[in-house]
Structure 1
């Protein structure tokens, strides 16, 4: 990594020490297409524990687990308000509830917690299992599939669309816009995708206000923020954020899980021989293949890692760096299904911990259980390659799998 000196890049603020500057563009990491996590690991090994990149508006990057553990729960000094997106789009409304700090945050968070309660997850798990079996049986006899399009972007997204009671037929259109929102460095493209989603949801929010149901959008409309009802704009914003989260994160995580198992037959056999190990394996795979990067903004001047930071500075938490940090996890690149991984950050921590974490875990478990029962021996198709992508949410874009087909 070379220091940034090109005139095309924004200037580095005067309070940033030159030795802390690195030219890191999260939308264009060298080697990310082949393996986005190893691309980030190479940066972690070379860069300081806390470094500044002038790319995408300029911000600090937390490079080590200890700093993330310190920053993540400190919402008073590291605010989420208008800080999540990299780069920041000034004209974009706050993404509720993730860009709302306490105490208002809890009002917006409540209906999501209810929608993914343990009882609700039981029902969704039954649906997910039936759908998983249907999908796998649909291509099993073929001996191959493109995992992302034929499974990962179908199972969790279909379940999510049922949660919000939106037409499953809208899935391809919604996926295209979600992809732009989470992986495009083009602010104009991101804003256009967001506006299209907002326009789409505006009509649904109005419809649910007139004809409420039991879906999550209807529950969002019942929110009271203190002594006032949620506004229409807030309801659309929260529905949009829920939509983006539901459309991308679990699908991407499934892709990374599938690639790992396709290339590590011994680990795959462990789970086949002992399915009771699957819940622990999920936590270890989440630790090893975390996908989000989230922004924060300083509310006051402070010293962090021996460096003076200023109020208004932006800080990015690249969660995969936590799971890849050898100071926190011995031999972090090695997957060990018996490792104690209770403190991984794949779903965050504190007030902004992902509310859909338990639903995601349930869907990942269904995937592993039903896939390994039916397709125990699979690998990446010879002559082709898995393709991953970087951005605020890392993703698996293409994963061609093959397996032996038993003759009738």
Structure 2
């Protein structure tokens, strides 16, 4: 099954371990999946299912690791922290070991108390209370260009909207957003040609977050603020103040999660809608369907490829997995798996209970999912009210980069103005 590399391919490869069958080797580079330049991010990943590969294959790239290729298996691994640990979340493993944000890298039961702190700031009730504020930000941005007849969706909206919302929740100045987004990109798409170089770049971004957060902690400690950062600072774990290093990791994780993934998801979604006017028309004619459609959007446009570390020697999908090895969980292969969702490429706004792992599953299911759903619902409601018909600018094509979180840029939209 091993794919043949082009003659000019000089990417570093790890030798196949003795326990890995030769017919399970498949050359998939999570940071440069084949076909991403011509087919886009999702189709480049879907190729693994179209070739009917086994549920687990082994890639020699990025330090060598397993890849789960089927939705049911991805879900199973996410839900099983006893066999699949979150102590290392990123590939290559050398880079993942440099990641030190909590509670995402914790396993139960230690994880539970820290997750409860995050949930207090991002639970459904708290997010619903922020709806007027979130809607006001969306309306202000949309009204600034709706009558213009065109926009660079990233620069004019998605680079601003979820970030302004999060910066308001965290009580941070928007002037800090560009550098924080750069830190986030360094974490989720670390540059480098070897695992060691990628680890160094990720570690640098991680430390940049920590340095930034250290100042916030010193400024806000003891001042009783109501923002989510102050909530973390003044929380206790088992009746004691949160350990300082864990506090740095928790606040840094909130910043990382709030500044990258929703922006890129919105870019992917809006590029699709611009090329499928029938779907937009369906939502415009039936606005009550928008909230249901949002979950289908998350199924259809997943862009996270996190990982888990195998906690002990086990057998799965007919192969041996050794403690300490890594397994990649591309969420694109969950939502787009026809075994999970019939006709998965179709965006069916009336699909009942779409199956996906876009927010992860199990104890580490994304704490920000309620906010992401609210932001996406408001975007669709307010956009369609102002711009019920729009299209992709002629000749413009999105630019994709793969990583722990994929990036999607160059989304140019246009519409007729009365």
Q: TM-score scaled to structure 1, two decimals?
A: 0.95
Shift of 1:219: 1.5
* C-alpha distance after superposition, 1:157-176 (max 9, x if no partner): 11101111111111122112
1:133 is matched with 139
Q: Distance in 1 between matches of 2:258 and 2:96?
A: 24
Instruction: Please tell me the root mean square deviation across aligned C-alpha atoms, in Å.
Output: 1.9
Q: Distance in 1 between matches of 2:274 and 2:303?
A: 19
Q: Distance in 2 between matches of 1:104 and 1:23?
A: 36
Please say if residues 89 and 96 of structure 2, whose CA atoms lie closer than 8 Å, have aligned partners that are also in contact: no
Please say if residues 287 and 381 of structure 2, whose CA atoms lie closer than 8 Å, have aligned partners that are also in contact: yes
2:260 is matched with 248
1:168 to 156, 166, 174: 174
Three-state SS of the structure 1 residue aligned to 2:145 is helix
Q: Distance in 1 between matches of 2:350 and 2:85?
A: 36
* C-alpha distance after superposition, 1:89-128 (max 9, x if no partner): 2662532011101111111111221112233212322111
Shift of 1:385: 1.3
Three-state SS of the structure 1 residue aligned to 2:144 is helix
Shift of 1:141: 2.0
Three-state SS of the structure 1 residue aligned to 2:36 is coil
2:21 to 17, 21, 38: 17
Alignment of 1:71-220 (within 5 A): 71-89=77-95, 92-186=98-192, 187=198, 188-220=200-232
Q: Distance in 2 between matches of 1:112 and 1:279?
A: 25
Please say if residues 14 and 63 of structure 2, whose CA atoms lie closer than 8 Å, have aligned partners that are also in contact: yes
Q: Distance in 2 between matches of 1:109 and 1:210?
A: 22
Q: Distance in 1 between matches of 2:239 and 2:63?
A: 37
Q: Distance in 2 between matches of 1:404 and 1:101?
A: 52
Q: Distance in 1 between matches of 2:174 and 2:316?
A: 46
Q: 5+ residue gaps in structure 1?
A: none
Q: Distance in 2 between matches of 1:155 and 1:103?
A: 35
Q: TM-score scaled to structure 2, two decimals?
A: 0.92
Shift of 1:344: 2.1
In 2 relative to 1, CA 182–90 (structure 1 residues): closer, same or farther, beyond 3 Å?
Answer: closer
2:36 is matched with 32
Please say if residues 387 and 415 of structure 2, whose CA atoms lie closer than 8 Å, have aligned partners that are also in contact: yes
Please say if residues 108 and 223 of structure 1, whose CA atoms lie closer than 8 Å, have aligned partners that are also in contact: no
Please say if residues 299 and 354 of structure 2, whose CA atoms lie closer than 8 Å, have aligned partners that are also in contact: no
1:232 maps onto 2:244 in alignment: yes
Q: Distance in 1 between matches of 2:207 and 2:100?
A: 13
Please say if residues 180 and 190 of structure 1, whose CA atoms lie closer than 8 Å, have aligned partners that are also in contact: yes
Shift of 1:340: 1.5
Q: How many residues align structurally?
A: 406
1:2 is matched with 3
Shift of 1:227: 4.9
Q: 5+ residue gaps in structure 2?
A: 193-197
Shift of 1:395: 2.2
1:349 is matched with 361
1:43 maps onto 2:48 in alignment: yes
Shift of 1:6: 7.5
Q: Distance in 2 between matches of 1:7 and 1:276?
A: 49
Choose 76-85 or 365-374, whichever is displaced more. Answer: 76-85
2:195 is matched with none
Shift of 1:24: 1.0
* C-alpha distance after superposition, 1:166-189 (max 9, x if no partner): 111111221122122212342233
Q: Distance in 2 between matches of 1:361 and 1:7?
A: 38
